[in-house]
Amino acid sequence: MSSLQKPFTLIAGPCVVESPELLYQVCETIAPIAKECQFDFVFKASYRKANRTSIKGFTGIGDKQALEHIRAVSIAQGVRTITDIHESHEAELAAEYVNILQIPAFLCRQTELLQAAGATGKIVNIKKGQFLAPDDMGKQAEKASKAGAKSVWLTERGTTFGYHDIVVDFRSLLIMKETGHPIIYDATHSLQLPGGGEQSGGLRAFIKPLARAAMAVGIDGIFIESHPQPEKAMSDSATQFPLTHMKDFLHELAQLRHVINSFE
């Protein structure tokens, strides 16, 4: 099967559930664009943020309420959904509402968490820790897959580079691909400037060029957080991509995918 025949996954949505209106607006905007681009769309929203920079940071509107909103959007729009979990006991609860469970980068080595996620039988997306070498991710994937995960995806989101900075080593995409698991590139979190204020900063201007680079290297999917008013977002406001620019951005990535795969 050629790369163009394989499904290309787009994970996109707001950082966190702020309101049901936000979820519907973002999902209703992106879903038809993804269809035009022939991307397999997975709607993303965290029901709670557990690792805020500051105690003042927004964490959520309430776990069950947020999960119910995510499920409602999934049903209304006919799309799959993904959300983060942070502790083992959350896996079973979140699995009742979403199709895919995501393990945050800081928690990617937590064995019991990975096993609990895998035991739900759902797809598990593991974000590579900023502190972890890419060739160590196969071991983390094994924890979830042996526990029963339907499939395991691995996501690159950058590596710690000194204080308050992250860089992307694009070799990691190819190294992780050797595990045989689908590889996702996180185009927004990989440009964060962690800490250094009340919330993480970021370099939004580099999202598009680095996403192009990841497409050129060869990936199975891309992760993009998007918000209609990023500067007013309650979480990760410096790196969420403007919703109004998503159509051009996604069509550009789709065209690039066709060009890159023509070299095979």
Residue 264 is predicted with a pLDDT of 67
Q: Residue 91 — pLDDT band, cuts 50, 70, 90? A: very high
Confidence of residue 262 (pLDDT cuts 50, 70, 90): confident
- 8-261, CATH topology level: TIM Barrel (3.20.20)
Q: At a CB cut-off of 8 Å and minimum separation 6, what does 101 contact?
A: 82, 83, 84, 85, 91, 94, 95, 117, 120, 122, 123, 124, 125
pLDDT in the model for residue 198:
63
Taking the C-alpha atoms of 178, 112, 167 and 123 in order, what is their torsion angle to the nearest 10 degrees? 60
State mean pLDDT over 137-152: 98
Task: Please provide the DSSP assignment of 213-235 as one string.
Answer: HHHHH--SEEEEEEESSGGG-SS
Q: Lowest mean pLDDT of 14-23, 91-100, 192-201, name the range.
A: 192-201
Query: Tell me, what's the pLDDT at 57?
Result: 81
Q: Sketch the domain layout of the chain as residue ranges.
A: 8-261
User: Phi then psi for 93, rounded to 5 degrees?
Assistant: -65, -55
What are the tokens at 131? 């502190």
Q: Span 200-227, mean pLDDT? A: 96
Core vs surface per residue 219-248: b (16+ CB within 10 A) or e: bbbbbbbbbbebeebbbbbbbbbebeebee
Whole-prediction pTM: 0.95
Most confident of 49-58, 67-76, 198-207: 67-76
Q: So what's the pLDDT on residue 4? A: 53
Across all residues in the chain, what is the average pLDDT? Answer: 95
Kindly give the residue spans of alpha helices, DSSP state H, lying in 135-223.
137-146, 171-177, 207-217
DSSP state of 135: G
Q: What average pLDDT score do residues 105-123 get?
A: 98
Mean predicted confidence (pLDDT) in 120-138:
98
Greater pLDDT, 50 or 246: 246
**Section 217-233 average pLDDT:** 97
- Give the tokens for residue 8: 């290309």
CA 215 to chain centroid: 16
pLDDT digits (tens, 9 = 90+) for 145-167: 999 999 999 999 999 999 999 99
Q: Half-sphere exposure of 20 toward its Cβ, with a 13 Å CA cutoff?
A: 10
Alpha-carbon distance of 75 to 69, in angstroms, equals: 10
pLDDT tens digits, 3-52? 556 789 999 999 999 999 999 999 999 999 999 999 999 999 999 988 86
DSSP tally for the chain: helices H, then strands E: 8, 13
Supply 230's token pair: 């990023």
